[in-house]
Amino acid sequence: MTVTETGTGADTERVRESLREVVDPCSAATGSNLDVVELGLVKSVDVEDGHVDVELQLTTPACTMHPYFIREIEREAGALPGVESVAVDTDDGTEWTEEMMSEAAKRRREETLDGYEARYGDAAEST
């Protein structure tokens, strides 16, 4: 059950908003800088009595970034007023698809890929 606290304490929306600061390192490496929320990686956020539970979906079973994600989610959510503890659970990375991305993230990713195609496409053809 998701419990939303009122006043100055954390609620699910504040936590989700704070998680927009957690950028996927793989997307950063390509220049698209997509965060875990817009990538559709945040499956759920529960807030109750100062404790935050985040369920995170990985993009692949081979993801080596899950310790980074856990550390950054704990840091961002833990910095919110009223948050005393944060727990992050991850899945095995077998269920994520590109359809889980927000429309804005899909557009930004496509623009980044188009930029690479424009920049390197001709070079690849001439080799």
Instruction: Report the CATH number at residue 39.
Output: 3.30.300.130
119 part of a folded domain? yes
CB–CB of 57/92 below 8 Å? no
Q: Can you name the residues that pair with 51 across neighbouring β-strands?
A: 48, 85
The pLDDT, as a whole number, for residue 1 is 31
25 part of a folded domain? yes
87 part of a folded domain? yes
> Average pLDDT of the chain?
88
3 part of a folded domain? no
- What is the reported pTM? 0.81
Q: What's the whole-number mean pLDDT along residues 2-18? A: 69
Could you give the CA distance from residue 58 to residue 77 in angstroms, rounded to a whole number? 18
Domains: count for the chain:
1
CB–CB of 12/4 below 8 Å? yes
1 part of a folded domain? no
122 confidence band (pLDDT: 50, 70, 90) = low
4 part of a folded domain? no
Is 50 exceeded by the pLDDT of residue 100? yes
**Of 91 and 10, more confident:** 91
6 part of a folded domain? no
The pLDDT, as a whole number, for residue 4 is 37
Distance from chain centroid for Cα 63 = 13
**Of 47 and 126, more confident:** 47
The pLDDT, as a whole number, for residue 118 is 86
73 part of a folded domain? yes
Q: Where are the alpha helices (DSSP H) in 1-127?
A: 12-18, 25-30, 66-78, 103-126
Percentage helix, strand, coil for the chain under 3-state DSSP, each rounded to 5: 45, 15, 40
Is 70 exceeded by the pLDDT of residue 3? no
Could you read off the pLDDT of 46-96 as tens digits, one per residue? 999 999 999 999 999 999 999 999 999 999 999 999 999 999 999 999 999
User: Which residue range is the domain that position 112 belongs to?
Assistant: 12-126
